[in-house]
Amino acid sequence: MRRIEDESARMGVLVDDLLLLARAEEFCDHITRENGKTLNESLFMEVLPVADAVHWYANHAQKSLRDEKIPLHLFPHKKSYLRFYPRGVIGIISPWNYPFSIPVGDAAAALMAGNAVVVKPSEFTPIVMEKTRALLEEAGLPRGLFGVVQGKGEVGAELIRSGINMVVFTGSVATGKKVNLAAAEQMIPCVLELGGKDPAIVLPDADLDAAAKKIAWGAFSNSGQTCASVERVYVHESVASPFIEKVVALAKQLRQGEPNRHDVDVGAMTTQMQVEIVRRHLEEARQRGAKVLAGGEIQVSPDGARFVQPTVLTGTTPDMAIVRDETFGPMLPIMTFRTEEEAIRFANDSAYGLSAYVFVYRAIHAPDAFVGFVVLGGAMSSFWLNVLWSMSNQFFWERENGNLALYIMAPCPMTAILLGMALGGIVIATLRVQPFIVTLAAMIGIRGLAKWFTHNENIDIGFGQNVFRVARANAVNVAQGDVDALIRRNFYTYDTSHN
């Protein structure tokens, strides 16, 4: 298999005509129709992050994947290099809450590192990936390097068994455990992105107006269906009343309705299954004494439209499901604390550990106090390029942007050889740092698709015949072999003629 650096060098420079941006309205419409998020959210939370990644990868991928010289210490007359090679075929099993940015971000790093990709999108949001495949092929990506297979969980299971070289899964903890076991049986790397119950802490010297606005956005955007949503708030008791008043006022001002209108702030829930989870958490909280200060209504129309009002609650306790479990809906329980130590203890009292948000005027050592990705003075701001996402207490949460996403998709065989030579002596050390290793291994990020979203007949965007020959052949075998056969037998399919 050829070197990554050589292949990246042939991609040329990013041209002005970006197909994705030219088709932004079309893609936003597809995302909104399938997912239920507003058109504004489809643009700013799905399409634009990917377009931004295009530009970044176009200017950094070649440098990131070139050979790295390694000094040999006692042998200065010798030369040693780290050289990155593609894994082969990457299988991506993606969720319904971000049906474009998550799978395309994962595929971006995989493709840029020289791999082929097969995506199994959620059965609730299947169409946008078919549109993405057509766009990539129009931009010049050879047919077969980006494959899409449709179906339910059984198709994902078959994909893992089909001979792929790595699997990337985003979804529930329960399914993630099954994926982890299935990948282990095949002896292939597994990247899991599973769940979150992210806290926000508001300290007494915080700017309450800013904190209320950012927390409301973090809790209610995409109807709360985001892994990094603010799902619980701890506010200092001395400022609790004015803060709660501000959040309640904001929640009541939000406009909810048909998501395909630009004058709507909050759209619809994606699945009835998730609506029932939200309903169960809300009803239990009410029955156990929680007060609903805003929202609290759930409406499901006969034609399937599902609307859950942005809801603010007080009087919740740590043993309630709405505080303890992932709700994944526009619910915001607000609780109080007395000391910073107490706030940190409350925030960390969770099996999850994706993100934490701290609102404070003075500087504090927040990164040392929390497990995961810590944002000071913001909410749900985890999509920056080249920023480590996080890791958690019980469940690994791994997503990263930029260079390390490329490195995981194109490992260095020399590193593996050196580790293998000393395996007996490093087992304990490896186990001790395993959470960090696994987090690095999942940094696949929401960035990418650099050259393939461009359109210029003078640039060889399609990698050429010598570029990823092995990966391409494997992708064609996977995409057109056992998995497609399984879909034809058991599940619905979409027109793949690209007419």
41 catalytically annotated: no
Phi, psi of 376 (to 5 degrees): -95, 125
| In contact, 265 and 368? CB cutoff 8 Å | no
| In contact, 99 and 129? CB cutoff 8 Å | yes
Residue 268's closest CA among 276, 283, 258, 277? Answer: 258
Tell me the CA end-to-end span of the chain in Å, nearest whole number. 33
| In contact, 69 and 80? CB cutoff 8 Å | yes
Compute the distance between CA of residue 99 and CA of residue 121 in angstroms, rounded to an integer: 7
Residue 170's closest CA among 161, 162, 179? Answer: 179
DSSP 361: S
Token code pair at residue 6: 């050589």
Catalytic residue of the set 158, 227, 231, 326: 227
Give the three-state DSSP class for 312. Answer: strand
Sign, Cα dihedral of 240, 242, 247, 252: positive
Catalytic residue of the set 41, 130, 158, 193: 193
Q: Where are the alpha helices (DSSP H) in 113-152?
A: 127-139
227 catalytically annotated: yes
Angle between helices 127-139 and 101-112 (to 10 degrees): 30
How would you classify the pairing of strands 355-359 and 190-193?
unpaired
Our separate counts of H helices and E strands in the chain read 20, 16
Compute the distance between CA of residue 127 and CA of residue 149 in angstroms, rounded to an integer: 11
Residues labelled as active-site residues:
193, 227
